[in-house]
Structure 1
Amino acid sequence: MKSILESRTFAIGTVVLAIIVIWYGFAIVLNLPWQQSVYARADLTDVPLFQWLADLYSQQRPVLPAPHQVAVEFYTSVFQANPTTPRSLIFHAWITLSATGLGFLFGTLLGILLAVSIVHNRAMDRSLMPWVIASQTIPILAIAPMIVVVLNSVGLTGLIPKALISTYLSFFPVVVGMVKGFRSPEALHLDLLRTYHASTSQVFWKLRWPASLPFLFASMKVGVAASLVGAIVGELPTGAAGGLGSRLLAGSYYGQTTQIWAALLMAATLSAGLIVAINAIQTLTSKAMGAPA
């Protein structure tokens, strides 16, 4: 019994159950005023508790949809709708995933290149690193419309503007993580390579790069989640016909809160799937490098 209580599955299940219970409680609090107004207009004063709960948890446009309403909308949009039509969340998820993947690739490469420059050049370290940090103080919601408008004016539409916004958000954790990773080797190991007259490139590929890989994968897990957020934000000012951002915007326009929450659930599922994929790549890389399982 003690092993079950201390297991990871039990801990996760307990947290999920607590979230669901709290969610149902807030659904009652937030949806109650509307339900009371419905009963008042219908001149109903003595409604049984079970009927009251059933009506409360089955509102067409609730302020906060109950978990089962979100689950039903998610199942309908994913498994019952044609995935090639805008009614399907798979259709929108694929559009967002395309921008996320491209932006994450650009952001990772840019982050690694900047980290290499910062580590190997003192002037770059002192001049560039403060600007890299300062770049993240600008709200993405403020610059996303400007990026879209400027790129549209030069003929770049569709995937590229969203990918660049994703790049803007995803490169920062990679830069910070890789700078830390490249500087993680001990001075003793660096001195040893110098005694062997190793060149700068040999030090990089034989010591700094292998030592930085754990930092790279950790920063990539943060970066891919940020990239997904950037892709969704990039879809909001474009009025695009597809993407989870446009799905959220449409749900907001028409008051379809269950549609909004289902799109958020799909975004969370995509983020979790991408992180699991990066973790699998990390495991394979570690095994290939001879690290213990």
Structure 2
Amino acid sequence: MKALLPILTVLAAIVVLWYGAAVWLNSQWIYDQAARAGTEVTVTQLLSETMVQDRPVLPAPHQVAQGLWDGLAGQKITSKRSLVYHGWITLSATMAGFALGTGLGILLAVGIVHSRAMDMSVMPWAIASQTVPILAIAPMVIVVLASLGIKGLLPKAIIAAYLSFFPVLVGMVKGLRAPEGQQLDLLRTYNASGAATFWKLRLPSSMPYLFASLKVGIAAALVGAIVAELPAGATMGLGARLLSGSYYGQTIQIWAALFTAAALAASLVMIVGVIERVTLKRMGMAR
């Protein structure tokens, strides 16, 4: 209980500040209505009416909670209004992009570590690729692939992979270079081949670095999948819920989709963490 006390204290402070911000930002509409009617606004009226607006500037926490409940449990999971349905669409693109990005990142990392030419040529381009905003790349990828007749999951997966491969690449390069010189010299005295050195020393040494980068990569892949749903005018996915909410001023819908995305990202990171603990324990590297 003592360990939870600081977390609960911070959470309570955030909720109080959130309610205060909701009253402040939503109060203008109340004052405007009162001015038109020629009446005064009481404190009680201000507090009550700013908490129940249909399209508030900032939804109150209980309104977001109600929106989450309606979207997650109040609809059939096959309904186009269900956050479970839209979350599954986004999750599918996220996992496909994460798989592509992870595979690409690991392959490039192995090549960079074993080839000075790749280290000098590929790594700078990989770094430079991350300086281009994803919001600029996503529409181009969507439009080009759509002109080729490629729609649906693949374009979103490519954009998710674009964001997820770089953390994996950097983490894997760092991990593969983690063995000390003495360890490498020992394997050379045993006349170990390059493949044996990779499988018996470099790859095991890279596991902690790899899993740390996978946690970042899977969260980045989710961001990429959501961003990819925006320029295409998608009708399915959490990005589509954000887009339709912004079109029609449904701020509660926007916040509910945001919290769903955050919960999905946290769950994915936790799953990677569980796999990490199991893997490292079986390798005798549990922390």
User: TM-score band, normalised by the shorter chain?
Assistant: over 0.9
Give matches, 1:279-290, under 5 Å: 279-290=273-284
Q: Is the 8 A contact 2:34 2:41 kept in 1?
A: no
Structure 1: 5+ residue runs without aligned partners? none
* Count of residue pairs the alignment pairs up: 287
Deviation (angstroms), 1:134: 0.2
2:34 corresponds to which residue?
39
Greater CA deviation, 20-29 or 102-111? 20-29
Q: Is the 8 A contact 2:277 2:286 kept in 1?
A: no
Give matches, 1:106-185, under 5 Å: 106-185=100-179
> What secondary structure does 1:276 align onto?
helix
Q: 2:44 aligns with which of 50, 68, 72?
A: 50
Q: Is the 8 A contact 2:97 2:160 kept in 1?
A: yes
> What secondary structure does 1:157 align onto?
coil
1:95 corresponds to which residue?
89
2:258 corresponds to which residue?
264
Give matches, 1:8-27, under 5 Å: 9-27=4-22
> What secondary structure does 1:21 align onto?
helix
Quote the Cα distance in structure 2 between the aligned partners of 1:279 and 1:287.
12
Q: 1:235 aligns with which of 219, 222, 229?
A: 229
**CA displacement 1:181-221 (0-9 Å, x = unmatched):** 00011111111111101000110000010010001110000
Runs of 4+ in 1 over 3 A off after TM superposition: none
Q: Which TM-score applies when normalising by structure 1?
A: 0.95
Quote the Cα distance in structure 2 between the aligned partners of 1:82 and 1:42.
42
Alignment of 1:61 with 2:55, yes or no, is yes
Q: What is the percentage of aligned positions where both structures have the same residue?
A: 59
Q: Is the 8 A contact 2:31 2:41 kept in 1?
A: no
Deviation (angstroms), 1:177: 0.4
Deviation (angstroms), 1:286: 1.4
Going from structure 1 to structure 2, the CA distance change for 1:59 and 1:192 (only over 3 Å counts) comes to same
**CA displacement 1:20-74 (0-9 Å, x = unmatched):** 1221121122111111112222332152x33321101111111111111100011
**CA displacement 1:212-237 (0-9 Å, x = unmatched):** 00011100000011000000000011
Quote the Cα distance in structure 2 between the aligned partners of 1:153 and 1:117.
33
Quote the Cα distance in structure 1 between the aligned partners of 2:272 and 2:56.
37
Quote the Cα distance in structure 2 between the aligned partners of 1:27 and 1:150.
42
Structure 2: 5+ residue runs without aligned partners? none
Deviation (angstroms), 1:148: 0.3
Quote the Cα distance in structure 2 between the aligned partners of 1:240 and 1:175.
30
Greater CA deviation, 37-46 or 183-192? 37-46
What is the aligned-residue RMSD (CA, Å)? Answer: 1.2
Aligned letter for 2:192? A
